[in-house]
Chain A
Amino acid sequence: MAAAGGEVRRNAIDAVIGGLVAAALALPLLGFRLVDSAQGLSLGFRFDLVLWAALAVAAGRFALGLLGGVLGRHPLRPPEALIGPLSRSRPWLGWAMIAFAALLPLLPFADRNLIDKATLVLIYVMLGWGLNIVVGLAGLLDLGFVAFYAVGAYSYALLAVNFGWSFWICLPLAGLLAAGFGIALGFPVLRLRGDYLAIVTLGFGEIIRVVLQNWQDLTNGPQGISGIPRPSLFGLRFAASAPEGETTFAEFFGIAFAAEHRVTFLYFVILALALATNLFALRIRRLPIGRAWEALREDEIACRSLGLNPTTVKLSAFATGAMFAGFAGSFFATRQGFISPESFTFIESAVILAIVVLGGMGSQIGVVLAALLLVGLPEWFRDLQQYRMVAFGGAMVLIMLWRPSGLLASRNPTVRLHGGSR
């Protein structure tokens, strides 16, 4: 009983200290408010908020402390019993998810809004799978992945608007262009290691964005490009009426025109693209080049002494990842119908990287879960616009504290020698 009393006492002291620190932290930024008026800046006061913040932190600290004492472990970490089954690989789970995704538009509760959101999530799933090749497989930290996404989007937009090329011709071109950019950018910098590579890729991401913003003649600057054509299904347009000599999708099948058709069509396009990325990533792991990526991630010196050229191996991973970002980018352009440099800021790179790392590097299903969590969930809380981003950042921190190696960690080599020691 005395021990329990001491526990409560210690928790209470911790809580008071936590509350005081929270008050000091909140005092300048919550307690005062800069008021901008015609006479210049002045200060407003909101000291009640400081009090609430301090009380909330103290109460939370106290509750967590007691909970930790009762459970005998860190209260924010889930018990092994809950996590164990989740991280075991289950072949049927992937198939079940694919089946669900394929049937989603046919389900009764699927309205236009839901399919639109699912399309957005799938874009990020595809980007995550693409970046997973670079970060998860090859172990190269890329903080500027959005640059290739932007290259793909702008190549489709420019080719379609200026030359009238169709989406299906531009899609592979956009991928190739992005891969070319990946090689051109990667070639000089891939000799660098770890964090140097990270800052250089971040720099490239920013350079591409600044160029898009300032090269008025080509990209129309910050106004962006609008009126990007939508894709067609073997020449069938998704529109209320078609120009001379063309048919719309609705006319061809003799059904009434509905805007949902296009949304559903786009959904299936991105689903197919994402699944193609997934299949590619799963298969290439078993090829020599995929094995070289994984080997390089684990030990660069060993790879070198076995005759692998690290630069070409890294370059191929970088270019492959960039190519998928290019595909995703051109899909993004055709879905939005409008693109501007605004869509390709660093925060996008951070979100994609967060999806890969939160999912558990190298895990394909983990990427889906993380994309649902980071992109899907916030979409439902659009009304809380302002608090959404705070919660989003907070979620990134909390998930990392909760599962430091990602939701589903899989770092095992894909291929093992038979009869090996393990």
Chain B
Amino acid sequence: MEYFFQQLINGVTLGAIYGLIAIGYTMVYGIIGMINFAHGEIYMLGAFIALIAYLAATTIGGGGVALALLAALAATMALTALWGWAVERLAYRPLRSAPRLAPLISAIGMSIVLQNFVQLSQGARVKPLPPVIQGGFTLTQGDGFHVHLSYLQIAIVVLTLALMAAFTWVITRTRLGRAQRATEQDMKMAALLGVDVDRVVSATFVIGAALAAVAGMMVTLYYGVIDFYIGFLAGIKAFTAAVLGGIGSLPGAMLGGLLIGLIEAFWSGYFSIEYKDVAAFSILVLVLLFRPTGLLGRPDVEKI
């Protein structure tokens, strides 16, 4: 039982991270209908920028860890969002009216570029960071097994919840959110009614990249090692999460992320760690067989 709770805690933490990345996929898919393959690399860039920003902040500030972390978080979100904006502007916007596969190939190309750019500029070796936030609670101490809940895990889940609340507020209450929802429903009609579609799409990429940046920073702190290749697997898993929850649906992305995190944690805890990715994909296939549009997705209406 203690072991179960430990895996539950780990799974929820992991799920929070996947959920943040998945929102970027699902938003972009909802609005322009493309799989943004480079989103995983944006998350990887976020992790690297976070590491660099944190080191720079501690070098300059010299003082408190909390202040350095906050400064690094702000810098990471801003700079990664700029990368997200630039990728959309360069590689996707010119292809807005192109055949469906063109932006996909362009996105795969962009993801190869970003991955190798980071490998060239920062080196291929794994980058270790000693633990920054240490300590935590020991919840139970039954028969020799300690259930541990670290401060970092609490911080990750709380920050994720706060970001998702803020994000839901943006989508449901603000002018930008209304424009986004309008663009999602019908891009042409929204444009006719005076919504600046290009600006809305840019904003979508910026928000998605900022959330992925936070996920990148969390991973840097949580695992303490990053390399230029982490974006690929995290990207496809987050995309799996988005599809699992129903692509285009925002609560679905969060739910899907949580589920993928839990599946991974429990599978590696109880069965085998080698096959945890297989487990996540198999669950995806099973869910899609019975609910072809994901858990919370709207059924597709076929029009003739």
Q: How would residues 128 to 142 of chain A score, 1 for a CB under 8 Å from any chain B CB and 0 otherwise?
A: 000000010000010
Secondary structure of the A contact surface, majority rule: helix
Given A34-B55, A191-B289, A357-B101, output 19 extra A-B contacts at Cβ < 8 Å.
Answer: A21-B82, A21-B86, A25-B82, A29-B117, A33-B121, A34-B127, A36-B128, A41-B55, A41-B128, A43-B56, A191-B292, A195-B35, A206-B278, A214-B274, A393-B116, A395-B109, A400-B95, A400-B102, A404-B98
B171 proximal to A (CB < 8 A): no
Q: Which of these, A135, A202, A358, A404, contacts B236 with CB under 8 Å?
A: A202
User: CA separation between A188 and B289, bound complex, in Å?
Assistant: 7
A199 proximal to B (CB < 8 A): yes
Q: How would residues 14 to 27 of chain A score, 1 for a CB under 8 Å from any chain B CB and 0 otherwise?
A: 00000001001101
| Interchain CB contact under 8 A, B53 and A390 | no
A295 proximal to B (CB < 8 A): no
Q: How far is the CB of A283 from chain B (nearest CB, A)?
A: 25
| Interchain CB contact under 8 A, A397 and B109 | yes
B113 proximal to A (CB < 8 A): yes
A residues neighboring B (CB under 8 Å): 21, 24-25, 27-30, 32-34, 36, 40-43, 135, 141, 188-189, 191-193, 195-196, 198-200, 202-204, 206-207, 210-211, 213-214, 301, 346-347, 350, 353-354, 357-358, 361, 386-387, 389-390, 392-397, 400-401, 404-405
| Interchain CB contact under 8 A, B278 and A207 | yes
Chain A, residue nearest B106 (CB): A400
Residues of B within 8 A of A40 (CB): 128, 130
| Interchain CB contact under 8 A, A193 and B300 | yes
Q: How far is the CB of A219 from chain B (nearest CB, A)?
A: 13
Residues of A within 8 A of B98 (CB): 400, 404-405
| Interchain CB contact under 8 A, B105 and A389 | no
B110 proximal to A (CB < 8 A): yes
User: CA separation between A189 and B286, bound complex, in Å?
Assistant: 9
| Interchain CB contact under 8 A, A188 and B95 | no
B52 proximal to A (CB < 8 A): yes
Q: How would residues 186 to 227 of chain B score, 1 for a CB under 8 Å from any chain A CB and 0 otherwise?
A: 000000000000000000000000000000000000000000
Chain B, residue nearest A300 (CB): B302
Residues of A within 8 A of B104 (CB): 141, 357
Chain B, residue nearest A191 (CB): B292
| Interchain CB contact under 8 A, B127 and A41 | yes
Q: How would residues 42 to 70 of chain B score, 1 for a CB under 8 Å from any chain A CB and 0 otherwise?
A: 00010011011101100100000000000
Pairs across A and B, CB under 8 Å, 21 listed: A24-B82, A28-B53, A29-B49, A29-B117, A34-B123, A36-B123, A36-B127, A41-B51, A43-B52, A192-B292, A196-B247, A196-B288, A199-B240, A200-B288, A203-B281, A206-B281, A210-B275, A386-B120, A400-B91, A401-B95, A404-B95
Residues of A within 8 A of B292 (CB): 191-193, 196
Interface residues of B in 80-125 (CB under 8 A from A): 82-83, 86, 90-91, 94-95, 98-99, 101-106, 108-123, 125
| Interchain CB contact under 8 A, B112 and A400 | no
Knowing A41-B127, A400-B95 touch, does A28 contact B52 (C-beta < 8 A)? yes
Chain B, residue nearest A299 (CB): B304
The 5 closest A-B pairs by CB, nearest first: A396-B109, A393-B112, A404-B98, A203-B281, A393-B113
Q: Which of these, A188, A196, A357, contacts B102 with CB under 8 Å?
A: A357
Interface residues of B in 266-290 (CB under 8 A from A): 274-275, 277-278, 281-282, 284-285, 288-289
Knowing A24-B79, A36-B125, A36-B127 touch, does A211 contact B112 (C-beta < 8 A)? no
Residues of B within 8 A of A357 (CB): 101-102, 104-105
Interface centre among A199, A206, A353 (most CB of B within 10 A): A199
B250 proximal to A (CB < 8 A): no
B232 proximal to A (CB < 8 A): yes
Interface residues on B, range: 35 or more
User: CA separation between A293 and B56, bound complex, in Å?
Assistant: 57
| Interchain CB contact under 8 A, A34 and B116 | no
Knowing A200-B284, A301-B304, A361-B101 touch, does A43 contact B113 (C-beta < 8 A)? no
B243 proximal to A (CB < 8 A): yes
User: CA separation between A204 and B48, bound complex, in Å?
Assistant: 29
User: CA separation between A34 and B102, bound complex, in Å?
Assistant: 35
Chain B, residue nearest A45 (CB): B56
| Interchain CB contact under 8 A, B109 and A400 | yes
Residues of B within 8 A of A33 (CB): 121-123
| Interchain CB contact under 8 A, A396 and B278 | no
| Interchain CB contact under 8 A, A389 and B243 | no
Residues of B within 8 A of A195 (CB): 29, 35, 243, 247
Chain A, residue nearest B130 (CB): A40
| Interchain CB contact under 8 A, A199 and B284 | yes
User: CA separation between A42 and B59, bound complex, in Å?
Assistant: 9
| Interchain CB contact under 8 A, A393 and B289 | no
Q: Which of these, A21, A24, A43, A389, contacts B59 with CB under 8 Å?
A: A43
Chain B, residue nearest A304 (CB): B302
| Interchain CB contact under 8 A, B109 and A141 | no
B139 proximal to A (CB < 8 A): no
Interface centre among A21, A42, A206 (most CB of B within 10 A): A206
Residues of A within 8 A of B103 (CB): 400
| Interchain CB contact under 8 A, B236 and A354 | no
Knowing A357-B102, A397-B91 touch, does A32 contact B56 (C-beta < 8 A)? yes
| Interchain CB contact under 8 A, A32 and B52 | yes
| Interchain CB contact under 8 A, A200 and B110 | no
Residues of B within 8 A of A389 (CB): 112, 115-116
| Interchain CB contact under 8 A, B48 and A28 | yes
| Interchain CB contact under 8 A, A301 and B274 | no
User: CA separation between A199 and B122, bound complex, in Å?
Assistant: 30
Q: Which of these, B52, B112, B239, B243, contacts A347 with CB under 8 Å?
A: B112
Residues of B within 8 A of A30 (CB): 121
| Interchain CB contact under 8 A, A200 and B285 | yes
Q: Which of these, A21, A43, A354, contacts B55 with CB under 8 Å?
A: A43
